[in-house]
């Protein structure tokens, strides 16, 4: 393999997994493998999964593990070149025109060249990401499924050779292609042509052990007991029919809330009061509150103690 | 471990790639080279690693993951004997139909039209074009349930001639054109030659795209007489709308048939659905079906202001509360909810069944689909929809007792929904004396 990698890139999957762990991110070995391959093959990594399973977090954590600059592009419908790639700084251009006028000598061609030079260019995330002069870059293209097909088409072009052409100025090419992480909540299918250029990984909800670990590392104030119970309850909750299943982000929010309420273990009353942190639809809250919640809690406690016993 | 088993691994890897392609996975040829490089790098000691690496390299659709795993297990299993290829054949059963042998059926002809034997001398692919106008009129108003095979064929041709246009939605993307937003960039560019004086202003407007249609059609026992024509109807919608529809069938369970529409003969799709639905002619559980739709599909099909067509007679054997709840949810997540009821074509029809009663408050338009005339009217109706959402009465959920005020929203340009063809049924909103043509 070529040896031109940046100094901080991990040399093996284990090392990468360790590095992620050091940033408080609990990654499966399979996920670590995908990230590792994305780094060594220099290909974009396409992460899909339900909301709140930690897709965005991967990019953030990766950036800090690599000591790289994180550049984030949040997608939305109608995202266009002026928001994603570049825009001209109109007010400065206008000002400049006035200055030229005042100085009296207007050479048409020269003025135009000057007006559309890099000096008046506002670089947006995609263009910024090509500039590796300030060290390595992790480019996060977040929630691509929110953008429309037109943008996807543009992205396809940019990701294939990491260069962007601005008609007035010229072509920008990345000396060192950025590490690209694309996430999607799968509210629509992303076009195959784009996915084919990427390494693909589906992030699932974590299992009980992993979620407990995540809670423990992210909310260290929570006791082992509380963390275990919370994780077990959330696991049970995910098994019920909900319009919106709580993600890891919700688990963490909930744990933090419980900690700040000085709760050391789960009880029906506490859950009833704080259910809104987990469930974001009124129908869901109503369905779970009361009887079903008690049943879930029972099962969760049972599971939690079983687990604890085995471990102890 | 880097290069020991090179030739051996290489051959197997290529075989594996071919297997995946045969199973219908979209395996990128260039990616196989990456795979080889990667296996040299990470080594083969850890089976889990090899699997994870190949998985991330060769798969790029979530639905393919289980298939990949199975293929991996079978192909790269511990060698007890060397006849692993035998098991692969059984997996071929799961192959998806990526390239169907037959193209889409052309709307005019139909290979086998019905269970009834054809007239011995005449094939069905020729229609007597000398039929009189009055005969066509009869056809237009004849109930679908009474169609003979010939009439069905002719009806299909008429259907194919229908123009479907469910209107446009405004996207958030802008394009050059007459609009309110100033296009600063183009303005500056075009005026640079005037020495900085902004002589001509360029503007941008919102780009528009056609709306999508989602059809959810009842094929349960009570609908049996209409099923065939309705499927033809859905098929003609698909063709007429350039694939911008999603279609589902249901009796007690929901089955997505969108992918069958373009690729195969509609009759074969029907028989496949018949296999998938265990109680094809059994009872209907619309509430459960809509719930399944809301859970599994709504997020993926209704995202961009779609129009939903539910086709059912409303004979529901499920709980009415559930139906109400799911209808409410569905209505909230789509641009317009239209219920097509074959029985509504009857002069004396009133939506008295429990199911219709439960659903009625959440329907934006209730229209008949019992004959061709009704379809023509439906097409007219869709073509004349205004861009904004229909005015809806705010509904409180069944489970709560809190009172919500009735929103007397200003009705901007509520179109008259139906050219007076069927005055017996009134829209639930207008039935209560709501304004019809603006407040």
Q: Is A103 on the interface with B (CB under 8 A)?
A: no
- Cβ-Cβ contacts under 8 Å, B193 against chain A: 108, 112
First-to-last C-alpha distance (Å) of chain A: 45
Report pLDDT for B349: 78
Contact B28 A196 (CB under 8 A): yes
Which residues of chain B neighbour A283 with C-beta distances below 8 Å? 325, 329, 397, 399
Whether B169 has its CB under 8 Å from any CB of chain A: the answer is no
* A48–B contact, CB cutoff 8 A: yes
Contact call for A188 and B303, based on CB within 8 A? yes
B156 touches chain A (CB under 8 A): no
CB-CB under 8 Å, A101 with B56: no
Indicate the CATH number of A13-77+134-202 among 3.40.50.2300, 3.60.130.10, 3.40.50.970, 3.40.50.300: 3.40.50.300
Domain boundaries in chain A?
Answer: 13-77+134-202, 208-299
> Residue A30: what pLDDT?
93
B:311-330 residues touching chain A, CB 8 A cutoff? 325, 329
> Which residue of B175, B196, B301, B303 is the best one to mutate when testing the A interface, meaning the one whose CB has the most A CBs within 10 A?
B196
pLDDT at A8: 61
Q: Looking at residues B15-44, what average pLDDT do you find? A: 84
Q: Kindly state the percentage of chain A with pLDDT values over 90.
A: 50
* Cβ-defined contact of B329 to A283 (cutoff 8 Å): yes
Between 3.40.50.300, 2.40.50.140, 3.40.50.410, 3.40.50.620, what CATH number should domain B211-403 receive?
Answer: 3.40.50.410
With 60 as the cut, is the pLDDT of residue B428 above it? no
pLDDT at B265 over 80: no
Contact criterion met (CB below 8 Å) for B266 and B231: yes
pLDDT, residue A118, reads 87
What are the domain boundaries of chain B? Answer: 6-94, 169-209, 211-403
Task: Tell if the CB–CB gap between B173 and A80 is shorter than 8 Å.
Answer: yes
User: A242 or B164, which is more confident?
Assistant: A242
Binned at pLDDT 50, 70 and 90, residue B79 comes out as low
B173 to chain A: which residues are within 8 Å by CB?
Answer: 77-78, 80, 148, 150
Q: Is the pLDDT of residue A233 over 70?
A: yes
Amino acid B318: pLDDT: 83
Give me the pLDDT at residue A199, please. Answer: 94
Q: Measured in whole angstroms, how far is the alpha carbon of residue A251 from the centre of its chain?
A: 17
Q: How confident is the model at residue B90 (pLDDT cuts 50, 70, 90)?
A: very low
B26 touches A at CB < 8 Å:
yes
Higher model confidence: residue A237 or residue B262? A237
- The answer, for B199 touching chain A at a CB cutoff of 8 Å, is no
| Residue ranges with strand state E in A2-112 | 45-48, 69-74, 86-88
Closest-CA residue of A relative to B28 is A196
User: Among residues of chain B, what percentage have pLDDT more than 90?
Assistant: 5
pLDDT tens-digit readout, A98-140: 888 888 767 778 888 888 888 899 999 999 999 888 889 999 9
| A149 has a chain B CB within 8 A of its CB | no
pTM: 0.68
Predicted complex ipTM? 0.73
Task: Say yes or no: B193 contacts chain A, CB-CB below 8 A.
Answer: yes
pLDDT score of B413 more than 60: no
pLDDT the model gives residue A306: 59
Task: Tell me the pLDDT tens digit for each residue of A152-207.
Answer: 888 988 888 888 988 888 899 988 889 999 999 888 778 888 988 899 999 999 99
- What DSSP assignment string belongs to A189-214? PPPHHHHHTSEEEEPPPP-HHHHHHH
The helix/strand/coil state of A80 is coil
User: A201 to chain B nearest CA, in Å?
Assistant: 6
* Residue A108 at interface with chain B, using a CB cutoff of 8 Å: yes
pLDDT at B438 over 50: no
SS3 assignment for chain B: CCCCCHHHHHHHHHHHHHHHHHCCCCCCHHHHHHHHHHHHHHCCCCHHHHHHHHHHHHCCCHHHHHHHHHHHHHHCCCCCCCCHHHHHHHHHHHCCCCCCCCCCCCCCCCCCCCCCCCCCCCCCCCCCCCCCHHHHHHHHHCCHHHCCHHHHHHHHHHHHCCCCCCCEEEEEEEEEEEEEEECHHHHHHHHHHHCCCCCCCCEEEEEEEECCEEEEEECCHHHHHHHHHHHHHHHHHHHHCCCCEEEEEECCCEEECHHHHHHCCHHHHHHHHHHHCCCCCCCCCHHHHHHHHHHHHHHHHCCCCCEEEEECCCCCCCCHHHHHHHHHHHHHCCCEEEEEEHHHHCCCCCCCCHHHHHHHHHCCEEEECCCHHHHHHHHHHHHCCCCCCCCCCCCCCCCCCCCCCCCCCCCCCCCCCCCCCCCCCCCCCHHHCCCCCCC
**Chain B residue with minimum CA distance to A113:** B192
Q: How many CB pairs under 8 A join A and B?
A: 106
Mean pLDDT of B118-131: 37
Q: Do B185 and A201 touch (CB under 8 A)?
A: no
Q: B122 or A108: which carries more pLDDT confidence?
A: A108
Q: Is B47 on the interface with A (CB under 8 A)?
A: no
Average pLDDT over residues B129-140: 52
Scan residues 227-246 of A and list those with Cβ closer than 8 Å to B: 241, 243
């Amino acid at each position: 393999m070529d040896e031109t990698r940046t100094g901080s890139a991990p040399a093996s999957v284990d090392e990468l997994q360790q590095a992620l762990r050091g940033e408080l991110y609990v990654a499966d070995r399979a996920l670590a493998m995908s990230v590792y391959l994305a780094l060594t093959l220099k290909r974009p990594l396409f992460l899909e999964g339900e909301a709140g399973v930690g897709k965005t977090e991967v990019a953030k954590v990766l950036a800090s593990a690599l000591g790289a600059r994180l550049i984030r592009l949040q997608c939305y419908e109608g995202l266009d070149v002026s928001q994603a790639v570049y825009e001209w700084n109109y007010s400065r251009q206008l000002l400049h025109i006035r200055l030229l006028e005042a100085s009296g000598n207007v050479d048409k061609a020269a003025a135009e060249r000057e007006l559309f030079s890099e000096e008046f260019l506002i670089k947006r995330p995609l263009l910024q990401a090509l500039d590796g002069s300030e060290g390595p870059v992790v480019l996060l293209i977040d929630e691509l499924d929110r953008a429309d097909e037109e943008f996807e088409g543009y992205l396809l072009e940019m990701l294939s050779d990491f260069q962007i052409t601005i008609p007035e100025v010229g072509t920008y090419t990345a000396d060192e292609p950025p590490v690209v992480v694309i996430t999607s909540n799968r509210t629509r299918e992303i076009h195959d042509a784009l996915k084919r250029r990427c390494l693909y990984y589906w992030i699932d909800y974590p299992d009980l052990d992993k979620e407990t670990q995540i809670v423990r590392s992210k909310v260290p104030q929570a006791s082992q007991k509380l963390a275990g119970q919370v994780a077990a309850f959330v696991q049970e909750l995910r098994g019920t029919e909900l319009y919106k299943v709580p993600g890891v982000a919700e688990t963490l929010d909930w744990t933090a809330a419980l900690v700040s309420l000085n709760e050391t273990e789960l009880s029906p009353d506490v859950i009833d009061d704080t259910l809104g942190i987990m469930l974001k639809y009124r129908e869901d809250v109503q369905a779970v509150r009361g009887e079903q919640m008690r049943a879930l809690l029972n099962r969760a406690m049972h599971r939690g103690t079983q687990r604890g016993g085995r471990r102890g | 471990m880097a290069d020991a088993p090179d030739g051996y691994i290489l051959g197997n890897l290529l075989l594996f790639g071919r297997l995946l392609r045969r199973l219908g996975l979209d395996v990128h040829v260039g990616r196989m080279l990456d795979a080889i490089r990667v296996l040299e790098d990470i080594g083969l000691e850890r089976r889990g690693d090899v699997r994870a690496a190949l998985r991330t390299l060769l798969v790029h659709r979530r639905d393919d993951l289980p298939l990949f795993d199975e293929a991996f297990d079978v192909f790269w299993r511990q060698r007890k004997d060397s006849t692993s290829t035998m098991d692969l054949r059984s997996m071929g059963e799961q192959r998806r139909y990526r390239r169907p042998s037959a193209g889409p059926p052309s709307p005019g002809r139909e290979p086998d039209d019905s269970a009834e034997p054809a007239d011995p001398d005449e094939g069905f692919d020729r229609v007597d074009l000398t039929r009189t106008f009055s005969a066509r009129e009869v056809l237009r108003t004849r109930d679908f349930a009474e169609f003979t095979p010939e009439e069905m064929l002719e009806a299909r041709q008429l259907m194919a001639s229908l123009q479907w246009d469910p209107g446009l939605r405004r996207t958030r993307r802008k394009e050059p054109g007459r609009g309110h937003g100033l296009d600063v960039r183009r303005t500056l560019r075009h005026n640079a030659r005037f020495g900085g004086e902004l002589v001509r202003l360029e503007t941008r407007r919102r780009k528009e795209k056609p709306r999508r249609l989602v059809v959810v059609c009842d094929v349960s026992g009570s609908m049996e007489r209409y099923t065939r024509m309705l499927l033809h109807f859905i098929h003609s919608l698909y063709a007429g709308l350039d694939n911008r529809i999603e279609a589902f069938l249901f009796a007690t369970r929901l089955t997505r048939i969108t992918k069958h529409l373009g690729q195969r003969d509609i009759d074969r799709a029907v028989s496949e659905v018949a296999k998938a639905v265990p109680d094809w002619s059994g009872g209907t559980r619309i509430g459960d079906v809509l719930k399944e739709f809301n859970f599994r599909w709504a997020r993926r099909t209704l995202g961009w202001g779609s129009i939903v067509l539910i086709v059912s007679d409303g004979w529901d054997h499920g709980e009415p509360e559930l139906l109400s709840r799911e209808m409410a949810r569905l209505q909230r997540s789509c641009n317009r909810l239209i219920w097509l009821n074959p029985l509504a074509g009857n002069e004396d029809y009133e939506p008295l069944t429990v199911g219709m009663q439960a659903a009625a408050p959440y329907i934006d338009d209730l229209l008949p689909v019992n004959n061709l005339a009704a379809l023509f009217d439906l097409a007219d109706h869709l073509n004349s929809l205004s861009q904004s959402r229909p005015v809806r009465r705010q509904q409180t959920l069944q489970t709560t007792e809190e009172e919500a005020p009735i929103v007397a929203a200003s009705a901007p340009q509520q179109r008259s929904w139906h050219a007076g063809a069927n005055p017996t049924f009134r829209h639930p909103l207008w039935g209560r004396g709501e304004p019809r043509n603006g407040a």
